[in-house]
Amino acid sequence: MSAEFDPLDYHNLTNHVVERLLQQTPFPLSGVDEFDGAGVYALFYTGDLACYASSRSTDFTRPIYVGKAVPSGARKGGIESGLAGKTLYKRLGEHRKSIEAAENLNIDDFMCRYLVVKPLWITAAEQWLIERFRPLWNVVVDGFGLHDPGSRRTPKRSPWDTLHRGRAAGWSSRVIENLTEAAILKMIANHTSEED
């Protein structure tokens, strides 16, 4: 006997948010018009870097990266939607700047879908997106979504910054090498073979 369908089940509600995100019109990451709200988003790569051939998405259904933007104070219980401001818009702007700074990426090769969501569902929707799509920049080439670690810390360079050098000094000149480019490319190849 099959289980009853519960439309209010946590996974069903979260999946509904994900499906709604994928119904949003994709737009170039280079030209995001200002908007209010917090929520989730998916970035799609359309370029021709060989290492990302399996993540190339011209129909904008297979993201290379997914993320969230929560309202300021959300970690301390400040999740009222009125406090969101332009949180999601600003987060997409940070990503645009990271891609534009990279020496081997072109911002014109990136499209985006975003969805303004009630804050309660944002984190769950991001986790569901990662589980469903296993985007390369979330699960293998880590570090794209990091914030600048600041001048007082000497962190290890992320795989993303190793492959895509060019972010400001805070990202690259002070850091210790973490993985070699060859090791990261091998990890990408392994991820790709697992997906096939």
pLDDT of residue 29 exceeding 70? yes
| Average pLDDT rounded to a whole number, residues 102-109 | 96
**Mean pLDDT across 138-157:** 75
What is the predicted pLDDT for the residue at 81?
Answer: 44
Percent of the chain with pLDDT over 70: 78
Q: Which residue has the tokens 């290379």?
A: 64
Angle CA 76–80–81, to nearest 5: 130
Mean pLDDT of 161-177: 70
Query: What mean pLDDT value characterizes the chain?
Result: 84
Helices (H), the chain: 10-23, 87-101, 119-133, 136-139, 159-163, 169-172, 181-195
Pairwise CA distance, residues 195 & 5, whole Å: 29
Contact indicator for 95, 135 with CB cutoff of 8 Å: no
88-99 confidence digits (pLDDT tens) = 999 999 999 999
Question: Which sign does the torsion angle of CA 14, 17, 21, 22 carry?
Answer: positive
Q: Is the pLDDT of residue 24 over 90?
A: yes
Per-residue pLDDT for 1 more than 70?
Answer: no
For residue range 67-87, list pLDDT tens digits in order: 999 987 555 454 554 557 899
pTM for the whole thing? 0.86
